[in-house]
Copies of this chain bind each other. A is one copy, B any other.
Amino acid sequence: MKRTDIPKILDGTHPTAGRGVALAHQALIFASGLAISIETVPNLPEWTNHGLRVFELTVLVVFVLEYLTRLICAPRPVRYALSFWGVVDLLACLPLLVFVAPELAAVRMLRLMRLAALLKLLHTNRAMLRLETALHQIRGELAVFAFLAMIILYIAAVGIYIFEHGAQPEAFSSIPMSLWWAVVSFTTVGYGDIYPITPEGRIFTTVLLFIGLGVIAVPTALITSALIHSDVVSRVEHDVEEDLR
């Protein structure tokens, strides 16, 4: 085994070595993300906090060792250190500083940088490629849709501000506040923190929601038609390849 094989084994892209090391590595990143979540839960029992602390230290030591290994094994160490993944790997080691200087608690979040490594998994995925191709094809339409959606949201916010500000000066206190209402309503989330109460505000909302339903239908329609289009294209290409054999 050559020195430069080690990063490939860590990434699971080595041709002959198994994917065991890579899977263990990914599982550790997952577990690390989970541990960060759980740490924030208030009033955990002491032993859990202690265990999470120990696990955090272990993970960080592994990350440091991995960073050093990758640095040593890289064909060009400096190039790796300055590359995107090199910076991500280094930043993910920084939370070790918290154990030296506890006042730097916010630095611990940097461990999450590691989660970016999970995105490497999707790079070579065939299904992901198909989605990417479809989305790339309709980027123009999606941009127009986003622009239209923003205009509609702005009009909705200004309109509801005019209709509701008098009746609810607290809830619809300003146009940015009304924009928050517009976002929550158009995405059909509807938390219920602010909603119109005047008849004219409600009629305005009704009209806009019906337009909004149509607008929300557009991205689904665009993605579907792009996927079907890419289906047809890939099938035709497949047929042509077969014919040429």
Measuring CB to CB, which residues of chain A are less than 8 angstroms from any residue of chain B?
33, 36-38, 40-42, 109, 112, 115, 118-119, 121-122, 125-128, 130-131, 134, 138, 140-149, 151, 154-155, 157-158, 161-162, 165, 173-177, 179-180, 183-185, 187-193, 195, 197, 199, 202, 205-206, 209-210, 212-214, 216-229, 231
- Separation of A192 and B191 alpha carbons in the complex (Å): 4
A154 engages B190 (CB within 8 Å): no
A142 partner residues in chain B, CB cutoff 8 A = 214
- Separation of A125 and B139 alpha carbons in the complex (Å): 13
A144 engages B128 (CB within 8 Å): yes
**What's the number of copies of this chain in the assembled complex?**
4
A188 partner residues in chain B, CB cutoff 8 A = 187-190
A176 and B38 in contact, given A189-B209, A195-B191 (Cβ under 8 angstroms): yes
State which of B122, B138, B140, B143 has its C-beta within 8 Å of the C-beta of A147: B122
A193 partner residues in chain B, CB cutoff 8 A = 192, 195, 197
A216 partner residues in chain B, CB cutoff 8 A = 213
A189 engages B179 (CB within 8 Å): no
A154 engages B225 (CB within 8 Å): no
Report the minimal beta-carbon distance from A134 to chain B, rounded to whole angstroms.
8
Chain B residue at smallest Cβ distance from A38 = B176
A225 and B214 in contact, given A144-B125, A189-B209, A193-B192 (Cβ under 8 angstroms): no
B190 engages A205 (CB within 8 Å): no
A154 and B33 in contact, given A109-B162, A187-B209, A231-B229 (Cβ under 8 angstroms): yes
- Separation of A199 and B176 alpha carbons in the complex (Å): 9
Chain B residue at smallest Cβ distance from A155 = B115
Report the minimal beta-carbon distance from A182 to chain B, rounded to whole angstroms.
9
- Separation of A214 and B218 alpha carbons in the complex (Å): 10
A161 and B130 in contact, given A199-B176, A210-B146 (Cβ under 8 angstroms): no
A190 engages B184 (CB within 8 Å): yes
Chain B residue at smallest Cβ distance from A154 = B33
A122 and B144 in contact, given A191-B190, A192-B192 (Cβ under 8 angstroms): yes
A36 and B175 in contact, given A190-B184, A193-B192 (Cβ under 8 angstroms): yes
